[in-house]
């Protein structure tokens, strides 16, 4: 009644923004994310999409949805704050790593070289946002009963899915055992392997509230740029001076 329906799904716009970004010189792109708290309904779809995309083992999680409660009964409020790695522009985790296994790329994503990481977990201690988890080598199928045959039982189930890690960072990791990424620190990498082929991060495409906006934060025509300019914008723990590339809208 007098109000226009949205013309375009933000996903379509973000997809277009991404295409444009990928035409730039890589060093001119600066990835960024905006999460609109007012739109997040706490469905955890992004968490699950991320777990599936990166085939995360038990106990490893890149993007959680925090549930914050404020006020006192009966004036209580609840809000949901999705928290990926915030890809800090001044990242304490990078400074902590003694062997430069984790660093900030020229596009502003903080990543880990699993083959360099010694698994000291100092970066986990240093991250103010608890955005890193360690891979202790756990299996979902550990409790599955062992049966003979190629279709059923622990081994068959694991071989069908879990034993083969996701192609994170665009690499083919060996079968899950003692080698990396088991024993490493792990974290959100903005789905760099998807971006490379023109796909938005899994959390962004799966967000049913369209609360997650992703793109090149230096492109004035992008949705993410527009959102960062909103008066509602804020960052987590600003006082620590980490300068996250993930912004929030109140």
Which residues inside 207-236 make contact with another protein, applying CB under 8 A?
236
Q: Which two tokens stand for residue 12?
A: 């379509």
| Distance of closest approach, residue 58 Cβ to ligand SF4, in angstroms | 19
Indicate whether 8 belongs to the interface with another protein (CB under 8 A).
no
Contact 34, 249 (CB under 8 A): yes
Residue 207 contact, options another protein, ligand SF4, none, Cβ 5-8 Å cut-off depending on partner type? none
Shortest Å, Cβ 33 to another protein: 17
Angle, alpha carbons 159-132-98 (nearest 5°) = 105
- The span from the CA of 90 to the CA of 243, in Å, is 6
11 binds another protein, rule: CB under 8 A = no
How many whole angstroms separate alpha carbon 160 and alpha carbon 182? 19
Nearer to another protein, 38 or 118 (CB): 118
Please state the separation of Cα 49 from the chain's center in Å.
10
Residue with tokens 């001119």: 28
Task: Enter the tokens of residue 26.
Answer: 């890589």
d(CA 126, CA 72): 33
Tell me the three state secondary structure of residue 107. coil
Rounded Cα–Cα distance for residues 112 and 100 (Å): 9
Site for another protein in 57-86 (CB under 8 A): 58-61, 64-69, 81, 83
CB 149, min distance to another protein, A: 26
Residues 181 to 210 in contact with another protein, rule: CB under 8 A: 182-185
CB of 141 to another protein, least distance (A): 14
Q: Which residues bind ligand SF4 (CB under 6 A)?
A: 85-88, 91-93, 96-97, 99, 101-102, 110, 112, 117-123, 127, 129, 131-132, 184-185, 187, 242
Q: How far is the CB of 68 from ligand SF4 (least distance, A)?
A: 18
Q: Which residues contact 46 (CB under 8 A, 6 or more apart)?
A: 63, 65, 82, 202, 203, 204, 206, 207, 212
116 is an interface residue for another protein by CB under 8 A:
yes
Tell me whether residue 21 or residue 61 sits nearer to another protein (CB atom): 61
Quote the CA–CA distance of 186 and 113 in Å, as a whole number. Answer: 10
* Binding partner at 69 among ligand SF4, another protein, none, C-beta below 5 to 8 Å by kind: another protein
Q: Does 100 bind another protein (CB under 8 A)?
A: yes
Q: How far apart are CA 23 and CA 128, in angstroms?
A: 34
Interacting residues with another protein (CB under 8 A): 47, 58-61, 64-69, 81, 83, 92, 95-101, 116-122, 124-130, 132-138, 178, 180, 182-185, 236-237, 240
């Amino acid at each position: 009644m007098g109000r226009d329906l949205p013309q375009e799904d933000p996903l379509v716009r973000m997809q277009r923004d991404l295409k444009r970004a990928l035409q730039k010189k890589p060093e001119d792109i600066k990835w960024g994310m905006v999460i609109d708290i007012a739109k997040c309904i706490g469905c955890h779809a992004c968490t699950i999409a991320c777990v599936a995309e990166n085939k995360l083992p038990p106990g490893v999680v890149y993007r959680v949805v925090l549930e914050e409660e404020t006020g006192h009964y009966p004036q209580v409020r609840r809000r949901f704050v999705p928290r990926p790695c915030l890809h800090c522009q001044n990242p304490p985790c990078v400074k902590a790593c003694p062997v430069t296994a984790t660093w900030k790329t020229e596009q502003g994503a903080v990543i880990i070289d699993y083959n360099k990481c010694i698994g000291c977990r100092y970066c986990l201690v240093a991250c103010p946002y608890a955005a890193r988890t360690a891979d202790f080598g756990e299996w979902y199928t550990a409790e599955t009963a062992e049966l003979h045959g190629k279709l059923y039982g622990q081994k068959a189930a694991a071989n069908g899915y879990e034993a083969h890690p996701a192609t994170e960072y665009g690499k083919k990791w060996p079968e899950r055992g003692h080698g990396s990424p088991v024993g490493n620190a792990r974290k959100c990498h903005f789905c760099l392997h998807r971006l490379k082929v023109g796909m938005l991060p899994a959390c962004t495409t799966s967000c049913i509230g369209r609360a997650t906006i992703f793109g090149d934060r230096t492109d004035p025509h992008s949705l993410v740029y527009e959102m960062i300019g909103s008066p509602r914008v804020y960052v987590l723990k600003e006082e620590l001076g980490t300068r996250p590339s993930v912004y929030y809208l109140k």
